[in-house]
Amino acid sequence: MKKLLSILLCVVILVSCGLLLVGCDSKKGDATLYTDNLVSEFKGKDDIYTITLREKHRVDTMILEESTDSVLSFGVYGKESDGTYTLIYRQNRIDKYRVCALDAIETDELRIEIFSKQGKVKINNIEVYDSNESRREAPLRVVEYVMTTDKKLQNNRNNREFYDYFKVIDDIILLGDISMDSEGNIVYNEGKEDFISDVQVINEFKAKDSVQNPDLKIVASVDIKSKVVAEDSKKPNKDVYKWIKKNIKTIVPNLVAFAKENNIDGIDIDWDYPENGTQWNWLSKLIVELDKEMDAIGKYVTVTLKPNECKLSKKARNAVEYVNLMTYDMFDERGEHSSNYETCKHSIQTFMSKSKFTADKIMLGLSFYGRTTNESSLIFDIKDYFKDNKDIDKWVNRLYNYKYYDDNGTEKYSEIYFNGYAMVRDKVTYAIASGLGGVSIFSMSYDVSAFWEYSLHNAVSEAIERGIVITK
């Protein structure tokens, strides 16, 4: 026990120094949010871990680390004043490292129960916090993609249930409508009128008394690849960098004029994806040159990237307002495309190491959709799960034997993995705790009504409200 307490003391010291999460340096303004670990001791027996706190205290956040990745499902219980235990958290895997957003409880003892496992469980770190005592220098930025092709904005122009989405969003990225041709001219894929209408609807939402979000920003995602690559091209990314090299003096002013004409706040550069140093170099040049002109008129540039690769120049990293990190569609050995550890701590650490981006410029990607566990191309709306499965609660992330119909109308069954309410709340809490700039949601189309208790937008909002205290 003395050895265990010594280890815990070391953990507390590490937490205090801001070294336990993604390695952010507090001297650079990326201080770890949680600083007061309330654990006095923990001990485990027969898959039950008892956590004794230093004193009776409000708790709502737990950090777990597991060296074996053996836990398949578990629950956290809080001891009530009458000696009974109340379930305050339930999830599937601990998955090596997990920030758990608990249902808040006033207690001096917590209990972790392992419901199912594979092999021997070894939990080597448990930390408990009260987010009300947390401090963060800046609020979390919430970025959300809206697919312009699905007409979500236009179809919900007068839908009051839809308004609440906009209360939590800081930036809307309009995706799917804007690309560029081989000469660097703007192309409206869905027609200019449709794009103008989408911008108009967003501005209407901003002005509504029920939304109260007049500072919401509008960003247009610009696909710089699809229209400049020949269908039979064997080296599409080489074609893109050559296109930038040839047309950069046309591309930049055209993008700036587009932003001014449509009164939008930013341009998101989308290139799926540079492959070598030369290609990254020309993407960097495009970002730097575009930012100079955009900044001159009070607008900004963002970029969307995968977490496994980034070779943007220092000038380009400084130029972008933020980077939207696509931490989804990353299938692990269980067929989960947006699992906890892989798409949070591991991806962030990998990206920061390779890209040299600071944490405050990174938007953690959140998937608001599900995928089959066999890595097929099928994508399922969260709203469909709730419509067909009324017994789904906020802890559920996986559906077994899920019925759906293919394009031919044939009835089929599959296992579906998605991020439910609690998982989204966990990931946003992780972003807060790790000093990230924010989260980026893909996409608005997939969520249930904001009036529904387990709307994923509500999960984002709850995590922000409970996890951030603004200080100067």
Q: Is 472 domain-assigned?
A: no
Q: Indicate if 335 and 354 belong to the same structural domain.
A: yes
> Is the model's pLDDT at 142 over the cut of 90?
yes
Residue 212 CB neighbour total at 10 angstroms: 11
Q: Is 316 domain-assigned?
A: yes
The residue among 131, 157, 179 that closes a domain is 131
Only one residue has tokens 């587009």, namely 258
- The mean pLDDT of 382-396, rounded to a whole number, is 75
> Is the model's pLDDT at 16 over the cut of 70?
no
> Is the model's pLDDT at 449 over the cut of 90?
no
Helical residues (DSSP H) of 338-445, grouped into ranges: 340-341, 347-355, 382-388, 421-433
404 confidence band (pLDDT: 50, 70, 90) = confident
Q: Indicate if 97 and 154 belong to the same structural domain.
A: no
Q: Indicate if 235 and 125 belong to the same structural domain.
A: no
Most confident of 134-138, 297-301, 374-378, 467-471: 297-301
Contact at 8 Å (CB) between 30 and 360? yes
Tens digits of per-residue pLDDT, 55-80?
Answer: 999 999 999 999 989 999 999 999 99
φ and ψ of 185, to 5 deg:
-95, 150
Tens digits of per-residue pLDDT, 303-333?
Answer: 999 998 899 999 999 999 999 999 999 999 8
Three-class DSSP category at 450: coil
138 confidence band (pLDDT: 50, 70, 90) = confident
Element (H, E) at 200: helix 192-207
Q: How far apart are CA 131 and CA 362, in angstroms?
A: 22
Three-class DSSP category at 270: strand
The residue among 74, 104, 131 that closes a domain is 131
Share of the chain above pLDDT 90, in %: 65
4 confidence band (pLDDT: 50, 70, 90) = very low
pLDDT given for residue 471 in this prediction: 36
Tens digits of per-residue pLDDT, 93-121?
Answer: 998 999 999 999 999 999 999 999 999 99
The residue among 99, 131, 163 that closes a domain is 131
- The mean pLDDT of 268-288, rounded to a whole number, is 96
Q: Is 304 domain-assigned?
A: yes
For residue 175, what are the β-bridge partners?
147
Tens digits of per-residue pLDDT, 344-357?
Answer: 999 999 999 999 99
* Domain total of the chain: 2
26 confidence band (pLDDT: 50, 70, 90) = very low
Q: Indicate if 198 and 93 belong to the same structural domain.
A: no
> Is the model's pLDDT at 288 over the cut of 60?
yes
pLDDT given for residue 75 in this prediction: 98
Of 94, 98, 101, residue with least CA distance to 121? 94
> Is the model's pLDDT at 35 over the cut of 70?
no
Is the omega angle on the peptide bond into residue 67 within 30 degrees of 0, that is, cis?
A: no
pLDDT given for residue 388 in this prediction: 61
Q: What is the CATH number of the domain that holds 115?
A: 2.60.120.260
Q: Indicate if 271 and 331 belong to the same structural domain.
A: yes
Q: Indicate if 455 and 433 belong to the same structural domain.
A: yes
> Is the model's pLDDT at 92 over the cut of 70?
yes
Q: Indicate if 248 and 300 belong to the same structural domain.
A: yes
197 confidence band (pLDDT: 50, 70, 90) = very high
∠ CA 430-268-353, nearest 5°, is: 45
Q: Indicate if 174 and 318 belong to the same structural domain.
A: yes
Q: Is 136 domain-assigned?
A: no
Only one residue has tokens 């892989």, namely 342
Most confident of 32-36, 277-281, 373-377: 277-281
Between strands 71-79 and 85-91, the pairing is antiparallel
> Is the model's pLDDT at 2 over the cut of 50?
no
Range of the domain at 376: 141-467
Tens digits of per-residue pLDDT, 233-257?
Answer: 999 999 999 999 999 999 999 999 9
Report residue 275 as tokens.
């492959």
